[in-house]
Amino acid sequence: MAVQSVKIKAFGSEYNCTHESGNTWKVSVVTPETSSYNQPDHYYPIEVEAKDEAGNTKSIDVDDETLGSLLKLIVKETQAPVISITSPTAGTKTAEKRPQIVFTITDNDSGVDESTVKLSLGGQEYTVSDFSKESISGGFRYTYTPDADLPDDEYTATVSASDNDGNAATPKSVTFEVYAAAPTLSVISPAEDLITNQSTVQYQVQTNGETLEITVNNAPQEVSLSGGTASGTISLTEGQNTIVFTAASETGVETKITRYVTLDTQAPTITGVQISENPATTGATIIFTITVED
């Protein structure tokens, strides 16, 4: 008897195969958009069913002794986790001798592989056993607190991690300074090297200094410091703007943080369009080439 039909059961759907030649049947199937890591045993199970013209049916699945291992489809994501260091912010100068390093790592598919989470600080490397942790959407928020006082110096904290499918995140770093005599100063916003098309930008600053001064392109700004927090709006000029935040202690010791914010209100210009085939036939693959200047 001849084979009448072959079909694949996968991802909750059935796919009919097409007879190629001889004993060969084929079908194209689009894999799921999510990793198989969080599936039972980390794979998607596949089932194959063949039917002959007499109506006899044979099915095999992952439990088949001969071919079952070939029906365990492993699908890996390609997106790496996202790392964000929330404290301290870049350029922070603090009198706190044991400043907390707070960072988040998220991955909304296979998940964060916690065995790969590393923090490098002061020439030492720390792992999850050194952090406190709380769950957040898609990952975790970690906090590292040094167990000994840090000497006055500049420090760079670097965080790295991978997901459970082996995709390595782009490491994130922040540089800050421990200076016991200096007032603390943390610029929460604007972000470092911000580029915007808005003519104003919001700022938020925290400090234990006696005074706080802000200049934009050397022009002093009005500042209201209350309870160690200052916030407000800064007007920008086209191009790069230099914003300097200066906190001073009662004895005149200063802490400065500089942020560079670029105002760009000019839209890009499209200068050329090319289409590889025009007119094109149905089912063809065509290429658009666009030239853009900014």
Q: Which helix (H) or strand (E) holds 200?
A: strand 200-207
Q: pTM above the 0.75 mark? A: no
Residues 6+ apart with CB under 8 A from 251: none
Rounded to 5 degrees, what angle do the CA atoms 176, 182, 185 make? 55
User: Could you tell me where in the chain the CATH 2.60.40.10 domains are found?
Assistant: 82-178, 185-263
Which CATH code is given to the segment(s) 82-178? 2.60.40.10
Nearest-CA neighbor of 47 among 86, 80, 83, 6? 6
CA distance 174 to 144: 14
**What local confidence, expressed as pLDDT, does residue 1 receive?**
55
Length of the chain: 294
Phi, psi at 205, each rounded to 5°: -135, 145
Which CATH code is given to the segment(s) 185-263? 2.60.40.10
pLDDT in tens, the chain (294 residues): 588 889 888 989 989 888 887 888 888 888 998 999 999 999 999 989 898 888 889 889 999 998 899 899 999 999 999 999 999 998 888 888 899 999 999 999 999 999 999 999 989 999 999 999 999 999 999 999 999 999 989 999 999 999 999 999 999 999 999 987 888 899 999 998 999 999 999 999 999 999 999 999 999 999 999 999 999 999 999 999 999 999 998 878 889 999 999 999 998 887 887 777 777 655 677 777 888 777
Nearest-CA neighbor of 149 among 99, 87, 102, 89? 99
**What local confidence, expressed as pLDDT, does residue 253 receive?**
86
Indicate the pairing of strand 172-178 with strand 229-235.
unpaired
First-to-final CA distance of the chain = 68
